[in-house]
Structure 1
Amino acid sequence: MSRKKSVDPELSHRLSRRNMLGVTAGAGAAALLGLSAGTAGAVGSAAQGKGAGATQPVLPPNRLGIQLYSLRDKIAEIGFAAVFKELESFGYDEIEYAGYTQGIGNISVKQLARLAKSYGLNGIGSHVNYADSNPDGYSFATKLEQVLDDAEALGLEHIGTASSPARYGNTVDAYKRAAEEFNTYGEAARARGMKFYQHNHGDEFGFATDNPNVRLYDVLLEETDPKFVFLEMDIYWAYTGQFRFSVTPEGKPRPFEPIDYVVQQPHRYPLFHVKDGVHDPDSRDGYDMTDVGDGDIDYKTFIQKVNKTNKGRTYHHWQVEHDQPVDSIAFARKSADHLHALTEKKKG
């Protein structure tokens, strides 16, 4: 990062992929940029406006994101700049951080923010540990102000955690205690102009150990203040929760639909993780994780329902993710192609 900006191709302002496609709107630009036909066609069609044809993109404009945890191997190997260059070429608009270090040299959060901007990537959120057993660790519980300082330097709208709320256990009171701490973090984040959020896994949809009729996720929603605490629904993990916890420990049916949580409180879900899985009733979770577009989760319908609930508003953000992709760059490309290709018939 010590090189002058005028000679640093990784930090200099370049003609973005979206601007280029907007000007050319053709296969020539796609070939020049190394894009797949699916991505180029979808973005090019979207750029033509309302009169372009009988369909429109399902994904809201400028809302395609990726959780960088999916690309942690490449960030460690080739650094943020090289990864961001690839993401821009695939048509990504947003990124969600999962740490601020790379494997090829130090970078400050301010440098990271400038780097992302130079590739047309909007930092939308970040995952930080809820707590850390090391009192000097980096987490909301141990270094709240530093966490918020870093998020502010990165220009984030959201700052959150993918840690379980089960810090104190899986009882009703344990979740209430976690919710109280989340409220504190959320109030502090709001004072900085940001939203604090929690990202779910499957266990949150389980039942309290001291009350088998109470779903823990419901406790979290009820006990957190909607002014201060927001949710990032990981749709894949929500579906695994649906599979695992459709019946109480006492054998009573308690089915739920993940989308219903969003429809009932759409303002509390600014962020989503788009993560796919092949249904496998013999596995513990009911699904085997796979690349977005290769599984059985109907993201087109899910996104459409959120859009309908929105009534045209576009304050939701969609981050693709895979915990263990075989090829992280190929995963990022394939996911962008799949979501860009989702279209629906226009009304009227």
Structure 2
Amino acid sequence: MSRRQILTASAGAAAAIGAAGIPVLATGAPALAAPGGGNGPLRVEPLIPAGNRGIILYSVRDRITAAPDDSGVPYGFERVLARLAEIGYKEVEFAGYTQNTSILGRQITPAEIRKILDDNGLVANGTHTTINAASFNEQLDIAGTLGMKHIGTGGDPSGSSYKSDWDAAADLWNELGRTARGRGIKLYTHNHDSAYGFLLDVGPLDANGRPTRSTGQRKLEYFFTKTEPEYVFFEMDIYWAYVARFKHHTYTDSRGAARESLFDPILTVAPRTERFPLFHAKDGDKAPSAGDGYNMVPLGEGDINFQQFFEVIGRQDYHHANWEHDGAPGGAGNPGQSINFADISYRNMSELTIYRR
């Protein structure tokens, strides 16, 4: 199947049913009655509910931080958020709270950003900010002002490959997660591919007494087991998870033998789907010769099967999908590129459908 066919597989099925002379009604309406009515009508519905379609503002960071210009492209929070709402997005994930000071003659405040959200019918579903004990309460205050139900970071809880460091990170995150829960907010961490690399957790030891080989346990999956499910949550970056599948499939066991272990992003989420309230819906073209195995593209123009991913993990009403493209900004030569990519990606996200009885 082509990439476009994969993206719109369910929509294509609806067209086929219609071509056969069987009426397919609007989204959410009965499409096909089961024989005898035993299982109720078949309905076509959005795979990602409209209210759960979001964007991380890092994707349009060039326009959030831009000074007023004559390009005709929105700049600053007020104009960019209004445009994103026009496109159809209902949620945004923050990646900083600042814009160019020339817009207001000073820096914008979180309370002013909240008013812009409210005026445009937008909800802040999370943020990538610094998570540490020293500034956590301050970050929770900002999250509260913006109305967030989730607070997180774009980095890993630990940059180490050693179990002891992940144990220490788990202790801290359990404590911070408990504090966040007391404020009605879920604490989450976001992955890059290295988070799903292998722990070094068995000998022989190096000169510093550190293990040099692995049992095959992946770092973030170990972190799942050490953190409390009611306090610590996760945002899977789907693109980087598939990069991890490409890059991290071999480890050296305690005997020095190379072992194969295939990483499956779907099967990582499905058994613990409620620990993943947020996702980065980021697409990529397969590029086996590239170091990551993929090149980023707007959602729906790549090879990642989002239809399969979101269908299999279930709980579509619970999950929030934030579109992201790290390289969306087009620079001075194409200042409208990131907004254009946001438009394309929203339309493709909204075309993902599912059939239910």
Same fold at TM > 0.5: yes
- Whether 1:86 and 2:89 are equivalent positions in the alignment is no
Q: 1:17-61 deviations in whole A, cap 9, x for unaligned?
A: xxxxxxxxxxxxxxxxxxxxx9xxxxxx99864247963322123
Contact 2:50 2:350 in 1 (8 A): no
Q: How far is the alpha carbon of 1:304 from its aligned partner?
A: 1.2
TM-score when normalising by structure 2 = 0.77
Residue 165 (str. 1) matches residue 157 (str. 2): yes
Deviates more, 1:227-236 or 1:241-250: 241-250
2:321 is the alignment partner of 1:318: yes
User: Which residue of structure 2 aligns with residue 199 of structure 1?
Assistant: 190
What whole-Å deviation, never above 9, does each CA across 1:271-322 have from its counterpart, x for those lacking one?
0100011111112211111111111000111111123xx2xx6111000001
- Bigger Rg, structure 1 or 2: 2
Describe the shift of the 1:196–1:347 C-alpha distance in structure 2 as closer, same or farther (beyond 3 A): closer
Q: Partner amino acid for 2:214?
A: P
Corresponding residue of 2:113? 112
Residues 284, 303 of structure 2: 8 Å contact kept: yes
What residue in structure 1 maps to residue 244 of structure 2?
241
Of Structure 1 and Structure 2, the greater helix share is in: 1
Matched, 1:95 2:67: no
Q: How many residues align?
A: 290
Provide the residue aligned with 1:55 in structure 2.
44
Structure 2 Cα separation of the partners of residues 200 and 48 of structure 1: 34
* TM-score of the two chains, using structure 1 as the length reference: 0.79
Q: Which amino acid in 2 is paired with 1:331?
A: F
1:296 aligns with 2:303: yes
Q: CA deviation at 1:215?
A: 1.4
**For residues 347 and 124 of structure 1, do their structure 2 counterparts lie closer, same or farther at Cα, with a shift above 3 Å needed?**
closer
Q: Could you tell me whether the CA contact under 8 Å between 1:126 and 1:160 is conserved in 2?
A: yes
Equivalence for 1:23? none
Q: Which residue of 2 aligns with 1:72?
A: 61
Residue 223 of structure 2 is matched in structure 1 by 220
Partner of 1:283: 290
Q: CA RMSD in A?
A: 2.0
Letter of the 1:120 counterpart = G
> 1:127 maps to what in 2?
128
Task: Name stretches of at least 5 consecutive residues in structure 2 with no aligned partner.
Answer: 1-10, 12-23, 33-42, 67-74, 201-210, 331-336
Q: CA deviation at 1:113?
A: 1.0
Tell me, yes or no, if the aligned pair for 1:176 and 1:219 is still in contact at 8 Å.
no
CA distance in 1, matches of 2:138, 2:321: 26
Following superposition, the deviation at residue 228 of structure 1 comes to 0.5
Q: After TM superposition, what 4+ stretches of structure 1 lie above 2 angstroms from structure 2? A: 45-49, 51-56
- What secondary structure does 1:56 align onto? strand
Contact 1:247 1:253 in 2 (8 A): yes
Q: Distance in 2 between matches of 1:317 and 1:280?
A: 28
Amino acid at match of 1:50: A
Q: For the residues of structure 2 that align with 1:85 and 1:182, how far apart are their CA atoms?
A: 35
Aligned-pair CA distance for 1:227: 1.1
The partner residue of 2:170 within 162, 173, 179 is: 179
Unaligned segments of structure 1, at least 5 residues: 1-37, 39-44, 131-139
- How many Å apart are 1:207 and its aligned residue? 1.2
> How has the CA–CA distance of structure 1 residues 233 and 46 changed in structure 2, closer, same or farther, with 3 Å as cutoff?
farther
